[in-house]
Amino acid sequence: MTAAAPEPKANMGRPVPRYEAAAKVTGRATYASDMPLDNPAYAFLVTSAIAKGRIDSFDLDDARRVRGVIDIVTHENAPKLKESKLFSNGGYAGTTIQPLKSADITHDGQIIAVVIAESYEAAREAANRVKVSYTAVAPSASFDSPGTTTAAAKGQNAQFKEDPEVGDFAKAFDAAEVKLTASYETPTQHHNPMELFTTSCAWMGDELVIYEGSQYVYGLKNGVAEQLGIDADKVRVVNPYVGGGFGSRGSMTPRTAIIAGIAKRLNRPIKLVPTRDQGFTIATHRAETRHEIKLGAGRDGKLVALRHDGAEVSSRPDAYCVGGTKTTTRLYACPNVASLVSIVRADRNTPGFMRSPPEVPYLFALESAMDELAVKLNMDPVELRRINDTNVEPIGGKPYTSRSLMACFDEAAKAFGWSQRSPQPKSMSDGDWLVGYGCAATCYPTQMAPSAARVRLQRDGRTRVEIAGHEIGTGAYTVIAQTAAERLGVPLEKVAVFLGDSDLPPAPVAGGSNSTASTCSAVMMVCDRIRQRLFKAVMPSDSLTDKAKETVGISQAPSTQAAKSDRPLDIEKAFDALGVGIVEEYGEWKPEGAPLDSFTAMHSGHARLVGGHQMKDKIAYAFGAEFVEVRVNRFTHEIRCPRLVGAFAAGRIMNPRTARSQLMGGLIWGMSSALLEATEIDERNARYVNDNLADYLVPVSADVPGVEVILLSEQDDHINPAGVKGLGELANVGTNAAICNAIYHATGQRIRKLPVRLENIEV
């Protein structure tokens, strides 16, 4: 075993290499824009240079003269498209702002024209030559701009149902022995997946194929069909590999239906490859947030009062919000809790999911405040968490299905060497560098959604698994292949997996870290049906009781590991007894508590996620603890993070190798969200300034010399058949707080606004 392939502990699968590793590193893997098209035309976008106002006129003469230009589509001649509602209101779209519909401009970088040409180069050149006259209106850029409106999230966002509260916060806070009030702030961020926001559309008669990196092929298929006004059965979305999503490809963006409409009109396949900077405004982003936290505690450290108020920026038409108070009000034992989430409307594009959408900003506030409270109490921050650890969430009084938070703290603290920390701020240094240690908790809700799967087994053990899941770099192919191999008892090499195609059985959106739990539970169920058919063929039925007839071949254990200990099945013998060459099963699985319409919704591209705090009589979260070492240069004030250590418990770990890779990427991103990543906005015109990968900073290898991931063994039989909690979004939560807590320890300076840059350090 190597560091990259950790030894499996109890309730962990084998650390087999990635299913598609060779295809990816040799360039054989075909991403959406690699798909061959028959005689395509190329599209290039023109985006607005103002954030608010109107287009008065276009001067297209110069652009039309570029050799190879076929058409220039503006609001004056764009294909007519139907509206699509926001995903949170029962639609598919990530924004209700529809470009090319009128002369109005509602945000910076809105699509205002599409140039179609015989080559990419001609389209791009012509786009550069499009001249636009605008009437600009002064926009509201963000929190502090004049002209914004603010209102409670509850009542305007259908998915934000309740501001959690319990007890009497005001009274308890008043009476608390130790009090803390502090405000925190997080910036706008962009996903910047490596794969650009490309779209190719090809019609064959009245049938449309879309090649586009998507985290939800069923959602995109149904959404585009709705906008085009055609039957969803006529639309197919294909993307066997997705070059990173991080939430940016979870809901439909306006570009897809526009390109499909133009392809139809021109009767030619069209390929769109937008630029990196256009990606900042034609898809979504993580909105900037502000928080006020009030904590009241006894001298013993026990929380008696907690209030978390959050505010998030959204667009004028859409009430998007992440509302992370659902998590921060439930993480620690506290009898008196209050909270309020507000939405601030500005002249911006509608924000959207970005890896751990609620937890990243909201736990930054809570986990920073916990550290501040520990300082006030003169208490070790780990001990403060221990004192307030709970197996029952305080709002609804429901038990956690399992919770290994303190085990994670203890393991990570040991590996990190937390005991070497001298608690006094500014007490550790090394040459030019002040050294600080910090820690924070992370958690992420366990979520599941209905999923279907089709599995086909041949006599020689060759297996084909089909499911419209998504390989966004997480290891979906690998864990699905492992599940089928283990469940059917066939060698892993014999399993072929097909994903990323909306002609396959539906799977939910690859979001909310639900994919492994949902798709593997469906695959397990379908494999069990195959085993059952085979078992029945080789067992004389009169030897079984009626009950045994129902369940023979099906593992009673919740996790795939247990399947091994079941009766071995001689596949060849069973096939001979059945007298067939292939056994195939299709099945639809839904998690406990899924709504009645789950399966119809699944087929029409609506994922009904359940889990987290929304389960009946219980609450399910994955947990972790993160420790960081931060160094602050006395002279340059540069801030570096040489060590990141995280310990995580997330139910069954399907594959320690892919799990570690996910968590490692998360830790790095978490560090990045504290020290590097921020989209700068020019307040005068509400436009993004650093919209490229040279200026939008992400870590390079030299920034992350030491990252250690510890996987804890945990078994949870109360969540889903796969026993999986999901960990894709677990590790980039809390890291930002751990970094600021470490900066405080290094410098004595508490920083409550991200990102932390060298100019924010005063030593």
Residues that bind another protein (CB under 8 A): 47, 49, 121, 124-125, 128, 277, 432, 633, 635-638, 640, 675-676, 680-682, 684, 689-692, 694-695, 697, 699-703, 757-759
Give the nearer residue to another protein in terms of CB position, either 576 or 682.
682
Give the nearer residue to another protein in terms of CB position, either 308 or 687.
687
**DSSP category for residue 429:** E
Smallest distance from the beta carbon of 683 to another protein, in angstroms? 9
Smallest distance from the beta carbon of 281 to another protein, in angstroms? 11
Told to judge if 195 belongs to the known catalytic residues of this protein, a careful annotator would answer: no
Asked whether 364 and 372 are in contact (CB, 8 A), the reply is no
Give the nearer residue to another protein in terms of CB position, either 49 or 340.
49
The Cα–Cα gap between 445 and 431 comes to: 42
Q: Which of 620, 715, 670, 648 is nearest to 408 (CA)?
A: 648
Give the nearer residue to another protein in terms of CB position, either 224 or 761.
761
Asked whether 760 and 389 are in contact (CB, 8 A), the reply is no
Determine what percent of the chain falls in helix, strand and coil, rounding each to the nearest 5: 30, 25, 45
**DSSP category for residue 305:** E
Smallest distance from the beta carbon of 643 to another protein, in angstroms? 14
Asked whether 195 and 31 are in contact (CB, 8 A), the reply is yes
Give the nearer residue to another protein in terms of CB position, either 91 or 139.
139
Which ranges constitute the DSSP H helices of 596-686? 598-603, 656-675
Give the nearer residue to another protein in terms of CB position, either 46 or 654.
46
Asked whether 500 and 240 are in contact (CB, 8 A), the reply is yes
Catalytic residue among 288, 372, 471, 729: 729
Asked whether 492 and 478 are in contact (CB, 8 A), the reply is no
Asked whether 385 and 379 are in contact (CB, 8 A), the reply is no
**DSSP category for residue 675:** H
Give the nearer residue to another protein in terms of CB position, either 10 or 758.
758
Smallest distance from the beta carbon of 437 to another protein, in angstroms? 20
Give the nearer residue to another protein in terms of CB position, either 82 or 684.
684
The Cα–Cα gap between 204 and 200 comes to: 13
| Residue 639 amino acid letter | I
> What is the dihedral sign for C-alpha 164, 165, 170, 176?
negative
Strands (E), 634-700: 639-649, 681-682, 687-688
The Cα–Cα gap between 587 and 582 comes to: 17
Smallest distance from the beta carbon of 122 to another protein, in angstroms? 9
Asked whether 436 and 742 are in contact (CB, 8 A), the reply is yes
The Cα–Cα gap between 666 and 359 comes to: 13
Give the nearer residue to another protein in terms of CB position, either 100 or 127.
127
Smallest distance from the beta carbon of 189 to another protein, in angstroms? 15
With left for phi above 0 and alpha for psi between -120 and 50, is residue 566 left, alpha or beta? beta
Q: How far is CA 136 from CA 103, 205, 231, in A?
A: 12, 42, 39
The Cα–Cα gap between 652 and 516 comes to: 10
Beta partners for residue 271, in sequence order: 42, 200
Beta partners for residue 436, in sequence order: 630
Give the nearer residue to another protein in terms of CB position, either 383 or 683.
683
Rg over CA atoms, the chain: 27
Question: Can you read off the two tokens belonging to residue 575?
Answer: 């096939």
Smallest distance from the beta carbon of 115 to another protein, in angstroms? 14
Smallest distance from the beta carbon of 738 to another protein, in angstroms? 19
Smallest distance from the beta carbon of 642 to another protein, in angstroms? 10
149-152 and 337-345 strand pairing: antiparallel
Smallest distance from the beta carbon of 367 to another protein, in angstroms? 24
| Catalytic machinery residues | 729
